[in-house]
């Protein structure tokens, strides 16, 4: 199967339903090896009761499938797959390479990863291997060959699950193997030591290298290790791990036409756990992601929304698969708050609204033993007479009612998504390097603030890289793109001059791809485009705020400087930056570029958003979206599906006209000919053709209420 996300996701949904009536995926990780075989019959019976149609099998089964080197035992897996097939349940089959068995690590201790402090990981948890280990790669390839060869024609199998959450526990590795791999990678990147010395700025602190052999991973040293060395090591570590995926995926593809994926981990891959999902996504037939709520965050649904949108970015706007989330509590946070009644449905619907063609979970049956025994499952320890099980069954029904949504794409008020946020992996990694102006200046936090503002306004947003084609977007926001390549900077510049609207926030375009300062006025890459000349960063104290003449207050940061050609929309009103621009707008070519030189509070940001959106002709899906209500839309062949999710504790009435809220509400089957009242906690998905234009008068009609199931 080619890496063609649309075709690959359609391939799966057609096999979960039929080519004429594809089905959204519903199910999760199934680990039958944790249970006596008698339990399996009950498992499949209950899967059918809930409407489960896809399970991921074998992810952590290596030690059972290959109990000793080269000796394979597939009998139990044969029986599991046959049983699932007999019950019409499809399988996302793993190649089981995520957790090498004790015999392997014991025999090949050199395969274990080493931390920056030189501590060798032991085995006894999972993912105990170094990406550069030839022993690991050989063993993983042999196992993959066996599994793909044996099961490529099994009628239950519809897709392949390579490994699991690459890099979650073993990234990066600082071993001697990684050192050798890093040197080869650097030789390919720079060609010569001179090139490397220049890129790494090794004239600073007497770091000049005179032989390749002297170069090491950025292991713990007395103080900050060379920042470009750290950045290159993150890039190398991601590439090295990707080689593992590619080798295993190639073996599978040589046996089987089914789509191949590995499950990503959303925003979690920072500098110290580096995997560059933009590059990885190019190797996926289907982009799949795991998402877990930050339990204590009372607005964690906004983080979910941002992650789902980012995943759709990796999938280049095409449908993707939610490989894991949880029915209720997880086990790995300090306080594992259980999901509230209805939260399971709301969370799953958020993912579907944002482009997922299914909702899968970790895991089918909550474990009895092991490190994750307090993690919720579809089937709780306490059985089926439970809140969780009832909500699981309800979700299965909801996903069946929404089957027609499969294959559709996320759209905004204009019929396409009008806004995108730039999120370059290099910019994030580089912004997380040490010895920067302020620990509070965070690429992720700033990105989230902007995404949240659009979310509250009911304006769908994509995520793209600075080098992508942006011409289809009316408004592009680049939050704290600290590092920008020359090509990314030129692309953003060209986008504006061709008529686009670009918002740049502080600490963007400051360094090039080697983490070298772009000299001249700040923000280096954009001073001319923005029509500002900023001269000094003035980070603020923890908790400090500055008054602004508009959109204020500002926190975290402000800057000393002046506007050259830009119109100043707000200035800093006090302190050492008093009179310096805080928010500006500049005409460049036939477009406009805006600068925001501080962190704005939600209210100020929302107010400013209305200025940008008015300039760029960006409309929300629904005007004046009530607080705590989430709205999203998917579209296909002239049909729109509008998702309305009430996360709040108040019943709301969604104002009409707007956003296609006439038609059929698919979860209840009710006809809607007018307004929609949405009870606290409730979800509605409205199918409509040819949504009414914004501003069109509402037709007098009945009003339908959607009640929360609780
Ligand atoms: C990850 C892993 C799963 C499980 C869950 C628990 O997503 O892929 O195996 O550990 O976390 O939340």
324 a catalytic residue: yes
Domain presence at residue 520 = yes
- Inside any domain, residue 710: no
Q: How many domains does the chain have?
A: 3
Query: Does 1 fall in a domain?
Result: no
Other residues' Cβ atoms within 10 Å of the Cβ of residue 71: 8
Distances (CA, A) of 250 to 65, 71, 650: 21, 23, 52
pLDDT at position 654, please? Answer: 86
Contact of 366 with 380, CB cutoff 8 Å: yes
- In angstroms, the CA 268 to CA 270 distance is 6
Residue 220 forms part of a structural domain: yes
| Cα distance between residue 616 and residue 610, in whole Å | 10
Do 234 and 126 fall within a single domain?
Answer: yes
The one catalytic residue among 135, 165, 240, 248:
165
Q: Which of 582, 616, 650 is the last residue of a domain?
A: 616
Q: Which residues, in sequence order, are CB contacts of 155 under 8 Å at separation 6+?
A: 85
Q: Do 145 and 270 fall within a single domain?
A: yes
Instruction: Tell whether 452 and 562 lie within a shared domain.
Output: yes
Q: Where does ligand 1 bind, in terms of residues with CB under 6 Å?
A: 164-165, 290, 292, 324, 330, 362, 372, 375
Ligand 1 atom nearest to CA at 165: 8
pTM of the model: 0.96
Helix (H) or strand (E) holding 670: strand 670-672
One domain, residues 83 and 169: yes
Which residues of the chain fall below pLDDT 50?
A: 2-3, 657-658, 691-703, 709-710
Domain match, 295 and 342 both? yes
Q: Which domain holds residue 514?
A: 419-616
| 593 phi and psi angles, rounded to 5 deg | -125, 135
DSSP letter string, 472-500: T-SEEEETT--B--HHHHHHHHHHHHTT-
The domain spanning residue 328 has which CATH number?
A: 3.20.20.80
Which one of 410, 428, 448 terminates a domain? 410
In what helix (H) or strand (E) does residue 26 lie, and over which residues does it extend? strand 25-30
Ligand 1 centroid distance, CA of 373 (Å) = 12
Report DSSP state, residue 512.
Answer: -
pLDDT per position as a tens digit, 396-417: 999 999 999 999 999 999 999 9
- How far apart CA 177 and CA 170 sit, in angstroms, is 14
Q: How many CB atoms lie within 10 A of CB 334?
A: 6
In a domain, 622, yes or no: no
Minimal-distance CA residue to ligand 1 atom 4:
362
- If one residue of 58, 125, 362, 370 were mutated to test the ligand 1 pocket, choosing by the most ligand atoms within 8 A of its CB, it would be 362
H or E element, residue 672: strand 670-672
* Confidence (pLDDT) at 146: 98
Q: How far apart are CA 360 and CA 393, in angstroms?
A: 13
Reported as type and span, the H/E element at residue 646 is strand 639-646
Note whether 518 and 634 are same-domain residues: no
Question: For 544-579, what is the HEC assignment?
Answer: CEECECCCCCEECEEEEEEECCCEEEEEECCCCCCC
Q: Are residues 228 and 189 in the same domain?
A: yes
Same domain, 406 and 438: no
CATH number at 644 reads 2.60.40.1180
Are 604 and 657 in the same domain?
A: no
**What's the CA-to-centroid distance between 366 and ligand 1, angstroms?**
12
pLDDT at 675: 76
Q: Are residues 607 and 637 in the same domain?
A: no
**What atom in ligand 1 is closest to the CA of residue 59?**
9
Whether 165 sits among the annotated catalytic residues: the reply is: yes
Task: Please give the span between the terminal C-alpha atoms of the chain, in angstroms, as a whole number.
Answer: 44
- Same domain (yes/no): 459, 396: no
Q: Across the strands, what pairs with 89?
A: none
Q: Tokens for 706?
A: 């959607």
User: What's 606's domain CATH number?
Assistant: 3.40.50.880
- Whose CA is closest to 533, among 519, 549, 512, 547? 519
Q: Which of 66, 303, 324, 559 is catalytic?
A: 324
**239 shares a domain with 282:** yes
| 144 occurs within a structural domain | yes
Distance between CA atoms of residues 453 and 64, nearest Å = 49
User: Is residue 623, in this structure, part of any structural domain at all?
Assistant: no
Q: Of 379, 410, 441, which marks where a domain is finished?
A: 410
Q: Is 402 part of any domain?
A: yes
Contact 100, 129 (CB under 8 A): yes
Q: Tens digits of per-residue pLDDT, 460-469?
A: 999 999 999 9
């Amino acid at each position: 199967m080619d890496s063609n996300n649309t075709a690959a996701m359609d391939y799966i949904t057609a096999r979960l339903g039929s080519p004429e009536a594809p089905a959204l995926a519903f199910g999760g990780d199934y680990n039958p090896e944790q249970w006596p075989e008698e339990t399996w019959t009950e498992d499949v019976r209950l899967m059918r009761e809930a409407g489960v149609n896809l399970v991921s099998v074998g992810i952590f089964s290596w030690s059972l499938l290959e109990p000793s080197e080269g000796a394979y035992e597939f009998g139990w897996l044969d029986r599991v797959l046959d049983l699932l097939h007999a019950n019409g349940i499809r399988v996302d089959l793993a190649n089981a390479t995520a957790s090498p068995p004790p015999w392997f690590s014991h025999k090949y201790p050199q395969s274990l990863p080493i931390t920056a402090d030189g501590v060798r990981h032991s085995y006894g948890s999972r993912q105990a291997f170094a990406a550069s280990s030839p022993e690991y790669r050989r063993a993983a390839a042999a196992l993959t060959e066996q599994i793909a060869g044996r099961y490529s024609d099994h009628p239950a199998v519809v897709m392949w699950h390579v490994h699991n959450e690459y890099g979650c526990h073993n990234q990066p590795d600082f071993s001697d193997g990684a050192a050798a791999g890093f040197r080869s990678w650097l030789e390919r990147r720079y060609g010569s030591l001179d090139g490397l010395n220049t890129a790494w700025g090794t004239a600073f602190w007497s770091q000049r290298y005179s032989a390749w052999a002297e170069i090491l991973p950025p292991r713990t040293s007395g103080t900050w290790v060379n920042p470009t060395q750290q950045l290159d090591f993150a890039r190398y570590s991601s590439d090295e791990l990707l080689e593992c995926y590619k080798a295993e995926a190639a073996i599978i593809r040589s046996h089987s036409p089914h789509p191949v994926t590995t499950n990503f981990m959303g925003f979690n891959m920072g500098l110290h756990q580096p995997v560059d999902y933009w590059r990885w996504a190019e190797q996926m037939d289907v982009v799949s992601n795991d998402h877990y709520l930050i339990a204590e965050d009372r607005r964690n649904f906004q983080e979910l929304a941002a992650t789902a949108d980012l995943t759709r970015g990796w999938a280049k706007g095409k449908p993707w698969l939610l490989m894991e989330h949880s029915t209720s509590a997880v086990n790995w946070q300090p306080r594992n708050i259980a999901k509230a009644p209805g939260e399971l449905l709301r969370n799953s619907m958020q993912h579907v609204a944002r482009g997922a063609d299914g909702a899968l979970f970790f895991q089918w049956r909550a474990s009895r033993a092991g490190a994750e025994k307090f993690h919720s499952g579809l089937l709780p320890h306490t059985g089926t007479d439970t809140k969780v099980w009832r909500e699981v069954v309800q979700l299965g029904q909801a996903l069946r009612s929404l089957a027609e949504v499969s294959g559709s794409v996320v759209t905004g008020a204009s019929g396409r998504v009008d806004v995108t946020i730039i999120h370059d992996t290099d910019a994030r990694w580089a912004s997380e390097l040490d010895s920067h102006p302020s620990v509070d200046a965070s690429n992720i936090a700033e990105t989230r603030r902007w995404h949240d503002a659009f979310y509250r306004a009911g304006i769908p947003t994509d995520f793209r890289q600075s080098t992508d084609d942006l011409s289809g977007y009316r408004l592009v926001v680049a939050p704290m793109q600290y590092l920008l390549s020359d090509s990314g900077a030129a692309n953003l510049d060209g986008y504006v001059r061709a008529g686009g609207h670009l918002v740049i926030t502080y600490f963007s375009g400051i360094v090039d791809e080697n983490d070298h300062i772009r000299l001249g006025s700040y923000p280096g890459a954009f001073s001319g485009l923005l029509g500002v000349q900023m001269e000094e960063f003035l980070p603020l104290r923890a908790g400090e705020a500055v008054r602004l003449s508009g959109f204020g207050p500002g926190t975290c940061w402000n800057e000393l400087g002046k506007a050259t050609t830009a119109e100043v929309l707000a200035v800093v009103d006090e302190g050492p930056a008093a009179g310096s621009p805080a928010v500006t707008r500049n005409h460049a070519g036939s477009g406009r570029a805006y600068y925001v030189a501080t962190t704005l509070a939600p209210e100020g940001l929302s107010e400013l958003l209305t200025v940008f959106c008015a300039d760029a002709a960006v409309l929300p899906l629904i005007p004046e979206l009530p607080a705590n209500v989430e709205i999203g839309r998917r579209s296909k062949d002239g049909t729109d599906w509008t998702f309305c999710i009430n996360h709040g504790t108040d019943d709301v009435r969604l104002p009409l006209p707007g956003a296609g809220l006439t038609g059929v509400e698919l979860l209840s089957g009710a006809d809607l000919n007018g307004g929609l009242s949405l009870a606290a906690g409730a979800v509605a998905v409205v199918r409509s053709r040819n949504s009414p234009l914004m501003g069109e008068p509402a037709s007098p009609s009945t009003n339908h209420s959607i009640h929360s199931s609780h």
